[in-house]
Structure 1
Amino acid sequence: MHLLVALDDSEPGWAALEFACTEHTEDEITVLHVVDPTESGYGAAAHLGPDALLDHQRDAAEELLATAEDRAADYGCSIAPATVVGQPADAVVDYAATHAVDRIVVGSHGRTGFSRVLLGSVAERIVRQAPVPVTIVR
């Protein structure tokens, strides 16, 4: 089985990785981080412009995925890291559709009510659009 773990730098994202590594130790696991070019750029890199900001986001993605490889190794699990640029939910679904993924594992922040309406839910969009089963970890 080929699992795709959608990873952002959040507790639910790390919980999704832990779930995949502990429940699917013998399966192929790809950990995907989506660099969202529309994400607001505040902080030290924001003043550099969109190209430099995207480069900064890609560098941060590499660091995140290196940490994911280390954490996976702590569980005796190996992963294949991957990074794509796009809108998170769409990019995860597209990746799954084009890379023979059998299941998507994603963390959920568990937002409800008005905050969910305002912010949307990446996990919910993935569930609605995914061509394969999705496991949501909280």
Structure 2
Amino acid sequence: MLKILVPVDGSAFGEKAIAHVLKLHRQSAQIEVHLLNVQIPVESGHVRMFVEHDTLEDYYREEGFAALEGARAALDAAGVPCQVHIAVGHVADTILRYAEEKGFDKIVMGTHGRTGLMQVLLGSIAEEVLQHSSVPVTLVK
């Protein structure tokens, strides 16, 4: 069984990754799908002075589930079971660490498809994952 990690941020780019996973499922039902949303941590000490830890954790969880909802619904509608996970941290590093620690066979993720100067200036989470992953990565544009 192919264990696939699909990082999802709630954007249309994540939807394209889900469409690719559904295609893989039609080709071989032997896949295990895990959706991962990574929340960027609140770094400001000022915010942390006024917001309780539990409130911040609730916020991360709510935002994470909201970002995962569309992908989860698409998989459910197609009869593809999935597990959902929410993490907090630097997005690319968290995806890379999660994929290695949990023993995934493949990462499937959407990309904004930036090229040239925009890519150089803005960088890309997908590009960072692709460059540093020990797990095979499929980028869907």
Q: Taking structure 1 as the reference length, what is the TM-score of the superposition?
A: 0.83
Query: C-alpha root-mean-square deviation of aligned residues, in Å?
Result: 2.2
List gaps (5 residues or longer) in structure 1.
41-47
1:21 CA drift (Å): 2.3
Distance of 2:116 and 2:43 partners within structure 1: 23
Stretch deviating more after TM superposition (78-87 or 116-125): 116-125
Is residue 66 of structure 2 the alignment partner of residue 60 of structure 1? no
1:63 CA drift (Å): 2.3
Equivalent residue pairs, number: 131
Stretch deviating more after TM superposition (55-64 or 8-17): 55-64
Paired residue for 1:44? none
Is residue 111 of structure 2 the alignment partner of residue 112 of structure 1? no
The higher radius of gyration belongs to 2
Distance of 2:63 and 2:121 partners within structure 1: 26
Deviations 1:50-101 (A, max 9, x none): 9555642321111222332211112221111011111111110000000010
Identity level (%) = 35
Is residue 61 of structure 2 the alignment partner of residue 94 of structure 1? no
Give the aligned residue type for 1:94: R
1:121 CA drift (Å): 0.6
Q: Taking structure 2 as the reference length, what is the TM-score of the superposition?
A: 0.82
Partner of 2:4, secondary structure, is: strand
Distance of 1:20 and 1:84 partners within structure 2: 21
